[in-house]
Amino acid sequence: MTENVPRERKAHISVEMEYHNITSHDIERGDVATTEIAEDPVVISTRGMLESLPPLSSECCIYRVPKKLRKVNVEAYTPQLVSIGPLHFGEQHLREMEEHKLRYLRTFLNRIGWSLDQSVQVVRRWENRARDCYAETIELSSDEFVKMILVDGCFIVEIFLRHHFNQLRDEVDRIFHRPWMNDVVRHDLVLIENQLPIFVLEGFFDWVPPVSIPDGNSTTFLGLTKEYFNHFVREMEVPGSLNGIKHFVDFIHHFYLSSFSTKQHEGDANIERPPSVTQLQEAGITFRKGTSRSLLDIKFADGILEIPHFKIWDSTESLIRNVIAFEQCHCTSKYISGYMDILDSLIKTSEDADLLIRHEIITNWIGSGEKVATLFNNIAKEIFIDSSVSSFSSICKDMNEYCKNRRHRWKATLKRDYFGTPWTIISFIAAVVRLILTIIQTTQKNTLDYCKLPKKI
């Protein structure tokens, strides 16, 4: 009965017969038909799983923070006041702001003259692309997801407009009449788990007719974004557009990389990390505040380490941590991670931090130098650095080679011990003068003594 069946099918039938305790004799007798042999349940289950797998999308850009990063500082990644997007949607401690978001939505729609029905229909067209931006499958229904996007997106655009135009704020605005609340909202908007895709926010801003806001014709969403987050990026160069930028964390990431030539920084897997700044100083290296607008533009040449100015605020750790989390999950080249790794090497103790503070490389607004050192040491924990593509390996190599040169260390010791202050310089000169006078005096005495010796006849 099975003579004309292909070899692969025969093997499958044999397995099925064994699974169902069927013998060839049963088939030959006609007790069981081969077509009635049920398919293996594992095959059925696995096939269903494979067929239900959602396709991977190139739009993916919003992630949950990896557990190894989160465990170091949970609060740095957790929204305090407002939920944006689906990853923290509905959490109990964030529900207080939901009513205020609805008030902002109502004001926004009234200003632009759109009906709620009209707005929802437009947002529905964005749903699939917006879902693809999240690294995990969002369990919200279509209606819940669309409503969340509408409320959260209009809330953000309305915040930006009120931040820029004071006259748009009403007298009972709970955010702008309570500065602490505005700061917390700004903090929550730069958390990687609390993001909406930037194309959604630009879409909402495009709904705003210029006549509905002051100076509308000259207002851009890029300008409003830069202004709102100016506290974080004030000294950095503004990107020309939002093209290619995925969300607000990516926006900050682009700022940190501005004016930074990635092509000039090639990796070397065998490079050792550099010593601390106090050890570098002992080896003769001096420090200078860099003038580059790129935070990452560290330079080393002729014994001078140049580091761009870095302001440290209460929000700095959370901001940097979320940028690093995005970089660790999304980016091939991890420049911010490499930057924090090298600063972790340079700043080991409070003495290291204080040295950079004295040279005005670091502006410290969080307290003691010890707190600054702790901040950098903790941020660098659990981050992955591929040394073969590290953007700072050439700088580390040059500094390490400089430190190994004994001549540089001797010069540094001489300068520190004998030329460190005006008094040590005066003391050194006096000692040299005394030594010279002693030599002269000794020479003169020996000459006179020689002259007094009786001459041989």
1 domain residue, yes or no: no
- Taking the CA of residue 366 as centre, how many other CA atoms within 13 Å lie in the half-sphere pointing to its CB? 20
Q: At 334, is the secondary structure helix, strand, or coil?
A: coil
Determine the pLDDT at residue 278: 94
Write down the pLDDT at residue 148: 98
Residue 243 has pLDDT above 80, yes or no: yes
d(CA 28, CA 32): 8
**How high is the pLDDT of residue 217?**
79
Arithmetic mean of pLDDT, 215-220 = 84
Q: Is residue 129 part of a domain?
A: yes
Strand partners, 312: 364
Q: Give yes or no for residue 110 having a pLDDT over 70.
A: yes
pLDDT band at 226 (very low <50, low <70, confident <90, very high): very high
**66-75, 288-297, 381-390: lowest mean pLDDT where?**
381-390
Same domain, 23 and 158: no
Decide the pairing of beta strands 304-308 and 299-301: antiparallel
CA distance 233 to 230: 5
> Is the same domain home to 74 and 46?
no
Mean pLDDT of 369-386: 91
Reduced to 3 states (helix: H, G, I; strand: E, B; else coil), residue 62 is strand
**299 or 55, which is more confident?**
299
* Order of strands, sheet of 304-308, starting from the edge strand that comes earlier in the sequence: 286-290, 304-308, 299-301
pLDDT band at 385 (very low <50, low <70, confident <90, very high): confident
Contact 112, 208 (CB under 8 A): yes
As a whole number, mean pLDDT of residues 10-30 equals 54
8 Å CB contact between 62 and 247: yes
Q: Which two tokens stand for residue 218?
A: 């000259």
Q: Which residue has the higher pLDDT, 242 or 149?
A: 149
229 with 355, same domain: the answer is: no
Distances from the Cα of 412 to the Cαs of 281, 283, 356, 418, in angstroms? 8, 6, 18, 10
Kindly state whether residues 224 and 348 are assigned to the same domain: no
223 and 78 in one domain?
Answer: yes
User: What is the pLDDT confidence band of residue 30, given thresholds at 50, 70 and 90?
Assistant: low
Bridge partners (DSSP) of residue 299 are 306
The verdict on 77 and 222 lying in the same domain is yes
The DSSP string of 96-151 is GGHHHHHHHHHHHHHHHT--HHHHHHHHHHHHHHHHHTBSS---S-HHHHHHHHHH
CB 425 within 8 A of CB 299: no
For residues 429 and 400, membership in a common domain is answered with no
Domain that holds residue 194: 67-245
- Band (pLDDT 50/70/90 cuts) for residue 442 is confident
Residues 379, 323, 99, CA angle at the centre, nearest 5°? 110
Asked if the structure places residue 60 within a domain, the reply is no
Q: CA-CA-CA-CA torsion for 117, 121, 126, 130, nearest 10 degrees?
A: 50
User: 154 phi and psi, to 5 degrees?
Assistant: -65, -35
- Provide mean pLDDT across the span 1-30: 54
Written as six digits, the tokens of 180 are 């602490």
Element (H, E) at 364: strand 362-364
In this structure, are residues 327 and 257 in contact, taking their beta carbons and an 8 Å threshold?
A: no
Measured CA angle at 213 (ends 221, 215), to 5 deg: 75
> Which class for 283: exposed (0-12), middle (13-18), buried (19 or more C-beta within 10 A)?
buried
Which pair of structure tokens corresponds to residue 226? 């830069």
Q: Number of structural domains, the chain?
A: 4
Report, as an integer, the average pLDDT of 25-37.
54
What pLDDT, on a 0 to 100 scale, did the predictor assign at position 267? 55
- The CA angle 362-363-364, to the nearest 5 degrees, is 105
Structure tokens at 89: 């949607």
% of the chain exceeding 70 in pLDDT:
79
- C-alpha 111 chain-centroid distance: 36
Q: Does pLDDT of 368 surpass 70?
A: yes
Q: Does residue 32 surpass a pLDDT of 70? A: no
Q: Containing H/E element for 354?
A: helix 350-358
Identify the residue with better confidence: 237 or 111: 111
Residue 343, in any domain of the structure: yes
With beta carbons less than 8 A apart as the criterion, state whether 395 and 275 touch: no
Of the candidates 360, 339, 194, 370, the one whose C-alpha atom is nearest the C-alpha of residue 288 is 360
Structural domain includes residue 61 = no
pLDDT at residue 4, as a whole number: 55
Which residues face 62 on adjacent strands?
Answer: 134
Does residue 182 belong to any structural domain of this protein? yes
Say yes or no: 308 and 429 in one domain: no
| Residue 132, in any domain of the structure | yes
| Average pLDDT score over residue span 250-271 | 70
How many whole angstroms separate alpha carbon 117 and alpha carbon 212? 20
Q: Are 59 and 132 in contact (CB under 8 A)?
A: yes
Examine the domain organization and report whether 271 and 349 are in the same domain.
Answer: yes
Judged against a pLDDT cut of 60, whether residue 313 lies above it is answered with yes
Shared-domain flag, residues 89 and 162: yes
Of 81-95, 159-173, 395-409, the one with minimum mean pLDDT is 395-409
Residue 211 has pLDDT above 90, yes or no: no
In angstroms, how far is the first alpha carbon of the chain from the final one? 143
Query: Are 47 and 86 in the same domain?
Result: no
Helices (H) and strands (E) in the chain, counts: 20, 5
Which pLDDT value is given to residue 312?
93
Lowest mean pLDDT among 38-42, 279-283, 335-339, 383-387: 383-387
| Average of per-residue pLDDT across 253-277 | 72
151 touches 158 (CB < 8 A): no
Q: Which pLDDT does position 152 carry in this prediction?
A: 98
Q: Tokens 């609340």 belong to which residue? A: 181
Looking at 361-454, list the stretches that DSSP marks H as alpha helix, in order from N- to C-terminal side.
369-379, 393-404, 406-418, 422-452
Is 208 part of any domain?
Answer: yes
71 and 218, same domain (yes or no): yes
